[in-house]
Amino acid sequence: MAATTGKRSPTDGVIESDVLVIGAGLSGLVAASVAYAAGRRVAVIDQEPEASLGGQAHWSFGGLFLVDSPEQRRLGVRDSEELALGDWLSSAAFDRPEDAWARRWAEAYVHFAAAEKRRWLRSLGVKLFPLVQWAERGGYGPTGHGNSVPRFHVVWGTGPGLLEPFLAKVAEGVSTGRIRLHFRHRAATLTTAAGRVTGVGGEILAESAAARGAASSRTVVGNFQATAGAVIVASGGIGANHPMVRKLWPHGTAPEQLLSGVPASVDGEFLAVAQESGAALINGDRMWHYPEGIHNHSPVWPLHGIRILPGPSSLWLDATGTQLPPPLYPGFDSQGALRHIVGSGHGYSWFVCSRTVALKELALSGSEQNPDLSNRDLRLLAARLQKNAPTPLRAFLEHGIDFLQAATPRELASRMNGLAGNSRIDPAGLEALIRQRDLQLETGLGKDLQLAAVRAARHFASDRLMRVAAPHRFEDPAHGPLVAVRLSVLTRKTLGGLQTDLQSRVLDGAGVPIPGLFAAGEAAGFGGGGIHGYRALEGTFLGGCLFSGRAAGLEAAASV
């Protein structure tokens, strides 16, 4: 839903409001809608054209972390706030003095996810797909990283469906004249008076016809000044700014090639502006990038990559053909796998499986790669389960440059080496690995922990129906041909950010709130400057935007 006509107002050079929101992504829209509902005049500025209203959330799969939900209970999942908080804290592994506020945000968010979150969303008209998914399964014991139970709830309508109620509320505000949207406005400075943030200054960019997500021009055609009683920074993270990602990558070990899982506008540049004005910007080395990226065969933005959401059956091999160690199976610990792969000295890895596994388990993340869920199309959803359905994954299997198929392991190894431009995969070694794996399967028991994990996963109804193929021999012609997928590192989320207290007030280096300045979403590390610590449990990024955006909108409105 478009909230304005996109035409520039003659008064765009001077913007006045009670609450000013920097960024028109999910957290910014939530903050704006909440501040408007509280009776405030709101201005939203964004450097992109109106076509990109909603930001990254539009492209998302729409996964939400919920605890002890009716959807879980209907599937026989027994969850609790205590269990979820234990999983969160074990995964986050907070270990820095500056993590104090992040931990408090984590505790508050888990309580929100176990109590009010689902009711609030349902009151806004947001519905959930009934089959809960199991992401980040862990595998390090009861006190290690991972979700003890499935908690990944997909919005019926994916990311666009989650945006709908907030776009509608903002559109209502626009129609009443109490919300104004200013596209192609790039904030460059914070302004202050008497120790309080009073607005921003910046540049007006040339009008752009760039489609949603596509890179837009940075031609400057003017300047603007915005004043407000409170400013909310919701400008997002750094995922498309590869030089910054490389600079902040721990120990400077970023791989040579990176794909972008976010549009080019996700540049993180305003974070430095806030830091220069005294805001505490923390945990920059904590990032959430994925090792399971593939090249989009129809790219929208530069280096456009798609993440594979894998089931547990594929063999995961490094660039030399060596299997990743337990518990680094697909879907168990993405950051552990990422560190292992990059630590091997190579920036890519491989999934190897049968075609049957590929078609059932290699789901693609994102709204555009799941048209059945995004368009709420029940017929298309039912077709997904049919053997020869023309799914987006099948299109990648046939046309994606990272997908290879072959009748035998040796032939597959040859094609893998051809794609990589080297001879790192030993054909005899790959053949032996696949055949030993198949021998373990035929025992019905065996010593292979990955096969045990596959069998265990199929005890859960959602996995058995949609996500995990019945165990079978990879070399069985009935399940062939063999498939290899080259995986690249895909940039995505910033886990650190501007440090905030539980009222979303931005703190300075001494831990004191900066009057008039608030932050939400990825710019705030989804709360506290890093609510996730070192690892996320998935479904927590959109939810973090909702939770922190609502807090920022309420508190900013109350402060003026």
Tens digits of per-residue pLDDT, 229-286?
Answer: 999 999 999 999 999 999 999 988 899 999 999 999 999 999 999 999 999 999 999 9
Other beta carbons within 10 angstroms of residue 73's beta carbon come to 12
18: left (phi over 0), alpha (psi -120 to 50) or beta: alpha
Mention the CATH class of domain 288-374+390-490: alpha beta
Q: Using N-to-C axis directions, what is the helix angle for 100-114 and 81-92, rounded to 10°?
A: 150
Largest CA distance in the chain: 75
CA–CA dist 228, 177 (Å, integer): 16
pLDDT of residue 136: 97
Residues with Cβ within 8 Å of 235's Cβ and at least 6 positions away in sequence, in order, are: 22, 23, 187, 268, 270, 271, 523
End-to-end CA, the chain:
29
| Model confidence, pTM | 0.95
Both tokens of 422, joined, read 């080297």
φ and ψ at 17, to 5 degrees? -160, 170
Residues with Cβ within 8 Å of 510's Cβ and at least 6 positions away in sequence, in order, are: none
β-bridge partners, 63: 154
Q: Using N-to-C axis directions, what is the helix angle for 427-443 and 409-420, rounded to 10°?
A: 130
Domain boundaries, the chain: 14-60+158-286+495-534+545-559, 288-374+390-490
Q: Determine contact, residues 105/531, Cβ cutoff 8 Å.
A: yes
CATH architecture of 14-60+158-286+495-534+545-559: 3-Layer(bba) Sandwich (3.50)
295: left (phi over 0), alpha (psi -120 to 50) or beta: beta
Q: Determine contact, residues 126/63, Cβ cutoff 8 Å.
A: no
Q: Which residue shows structure tokens 């709130």?
A: 513
CA neighbor of 135 nearest in space, from 121, 151, 116, 122 = 151
Distance (Å) of CA 413 to CA 202, 344, 431, 482: 54, 19, 9, 10
CA–CA dist 236, 244 (Å, integer): 14
* Sites in the chain below the pLDDT cut of 50: 1-11
Q: Is 343 exposed, middle or buried (0-12, 13-18, 19+ CB in 10 A)?
A: exposed
Dihedral, CA atoms, 271, 272, 276, 282, nearest 10 degrees?
Answer: 70
pLDDT of residue 12: 62
DSSP 464: I
pLDDT of residue 253: 87
Distance (Å) of CA 475 to CA 406, 432, 436, 469, 472: 10, 12, 11, 15, 9
